[in-house]
Structure 1
Amino acid sequence: MKTINYLFILLFCFTVSCTNDAIHYEGESYLHFVTAGSDQFVEQGIGQKDVNIPYGTVSTVSGDNEVKLVLDPSSTAKEGVDFQIVKGTDNPSGKNNGVFTIRLLESGASVTAKKATFTLQSGTIKNSVIDYQSYTMVMSLKCSATLMNANFKNTVAFWNSVNGNYDIVQSSTTNQLRVKDFLDTGIDLVLNYNPDTYIVTVPDQYTGSKYSSAPYVGAEIWVKPSTDATQISSFNPCTKVLTVYGNYYLKGTTAAYGNNQERFVGN
């Protein structure tokens, strides 16, 4: 019955506009995670990385109460191999929040993501029936983007012949790669990237070529990002693979070659 009353109060707070004093819940504390999870990377060469997992209670906790972080046995990430639980117990006395600490281990990390799902356990505080009742951490190895400074083979090709070799370099512009002489001699394919996720964007750029047939003779051929939102360009410096989805089109017209993939694999 207490749980039902607690849920009723929360629903009332969400659906009724209160202009006076804030409503204070003074019932049982109830445990919950603050978020559903996170994506975490351990960078190559740093050895390890500590990550905090925050949790909360619906009301301020009084007295001595131990809260434990428990690993779900279905997790693909293994304790002692992929990570360590540095701080797996907490006492939130006098507070309505706390944190646990997980240490990601480079020695067990791989470019293939692994998942560790955690739940909360306490002998004195009940678990909440609202979000979030579990926390999933997705962990993987992250290598430096500088590893992309190398020679690559164009294994899936549209613009050029398949299996052509191209140098990829870091541009003088921050967070930018250049595929040297890819579009034409002296004209690089410019790619911007997010340094945290290595997601790539293709800035609108001229290929250096012009269309030669009617009715668009002389129209410049440009390339821009794919118009298909499911085609996400990215690279993985650990495996040295770059996948680019671009849309080649005729500038100033409605004509286009459509969305096409360019894939580069390190030699």
Structure 2
Amino acid sequence: MAYLHAREMLPRITSDWIAFIVAIVLIHIVVVYEVVVILPYIDEERTRTFWLHVAFGLFLYVSVITSFVRTIATNSTTRHMMLPSVLKPGWRFCSVCEANAPPRSKHCWMCDVCVLKRDHHCIFTGNCIGYNNQRYFINFLLYLAVGAFYCNFLNVDYTIETLGNINLLTLFTILLPMLSWVFGVAPAYTFAVAFISMVCLLGFLLVTGYLIYQLRNIYCGQTMWETASGTKDYNFGWRENMMEVFGQSYILAFFSPFVKSPLLGDGLEFKKKYNENVKDL
């Protein structure tokens, strides 16, 4: 599996840079908040429970960062690939790349290159999600969702104590911390607690929802574009569909970005469920 050069890993347009920086900053703000504020509040005596929380939190953090780095470092594009000069069946010519592009690939105007089995362009990673890096993107979403849920679980008592009893004003402060601060409803520290609580809550809901959508597409053997267009040519059952994304050790690779799990193909050729001259019943 090929990896990108350092300069190719980074975002290429301003909007991607903003989203990329926001994602990195928010992740680390939450991590620092949990370690410096929440864990000492939960266990002032630093008992075994405290260190169990630290160990589990460190595992989640390392898994999130590793998945993120491997998502942006793994090359899923046709860049640096030797592509055939003769247009093969099912292939198409990309006038922008001035090269033949394989089936299921799409040209990304933000990355300025064709992407193998392109699923979508992720603004938070500043890169496209495609054939080689989709497994790491799923790992990233999975551990973000677990981490956000874990943070919400740890934060609830401290958040309620800081903001006061649960009422309409408390909900307003959590859901709209900026407005509550601007209108003087919440002082600076209360605003900070409410803001981080809002990030964890909305982050969990959004990431979990998107993870479920991605897993649904993988289960059906589809990319986002194929789901939108109703294409079902590559659905060979959940097990083979999972192996296409996560490789030979698909169960372990689903749960860990550290597992070596070679993919079954090269992203250039895909077998179809039906022959081109057979009508899909």
* Range class of TM-score, shorter chain: under 0.3
- Provide the TM-score with structure 1 as the length reference: 0.21
- Which protein, 1 or 2, shows the higher relative CO under an 8 Å CA cutoff with sep ≥ 6? 2
> Which structure has more strand as a fraction of its residues?
1
- Provide the TM-score with structure 2 as the length reference: 0.20
Structure showing greater Rg: 1
> Which structure has more helix as a fraction of its residues?
2
